[in-house]
Amino acid sequence: MARGADDPADVALCRITGDDIVSGRFQNERLLETIDRADAVAFGSPTYMGGPAAQFKAFADASSDRWTQQRWANKIAAGFTTGACAGGDQLHTLTYFSILAAQHGMLWCGLDIPGGEDPGGRNRLGSQLGLATHLVDGALPQSDLNTAEYLGQRLAKLAKRNG
């Protein structure tokens, strides 16, 4: 998705690491401040047991102070996830992201590529809410990487139009 942004210099890649979780709680104020300054955010997590990973949930819980102040309101948000199976409940993870964004007053950016209709195979699994994918023979298919890049372009374009 970062490759899809018009100017990669404007992209901040934020990753939740094990060190960010202390006694089950997300503890990385710098990451939250990075989102405070962003025009757009792409939420991502693998789908585990039907939803986002526990680390992402800890991050979402830690964002509640910003929620009460609506500090992320009107930012553009999108989401991406991967699972072990083609129908491995990735939609639930994307729904979680979109609800989190809505709670924060963010504007959601989904895919505008009808599933199964793109000549290049983008949006292979047909999720309009965001990028859902799964590994095929141990790797992400090129069509899914192309979908991610496209969603990054779309997110950046909407952020510029919104800003």
pLDDT at 79: 97
Q: What is the C-alpha to C-alpha distance for residues 150 and 163, in angstroms, rounded to an integer? A: 20
Q: What is the C-alpha to C-alpha distance for residues 63 and 79, in angstroms, rounded to an integer? A: 16
Can you give the pTM of this predicted structure?
0.93
Q: Which two tokens stand for residue 120?
A: 């290049």
pLDDT at 154: 94
Under a CB-based contact definition with an 8 Å cutoff, are residues 16 and 26 in contact?
yes
Q: Whole-angstrom distance between the N-terminal and C-terminal Cα of the chain?
A: 20
Q: Which two tokens stand for residue 94?
A: 């994307």
pLDDT at 9: 55
Structural domains of the chain, with CATH: 2-162 (3.40.50.360)
Reading the chain (163 residues) residue by residue, the pLDDT tens digits are: 888 887 665 778 899 999 999 999 999 999 999 999 999 999 999 999 999 999 999 999 999 999 999 999 999 999 999 998 888 799 999 999 999 999 999 999 999 999 889 999 999 999 999 999 998 998 999 999 999 999 999 999 999 887 6
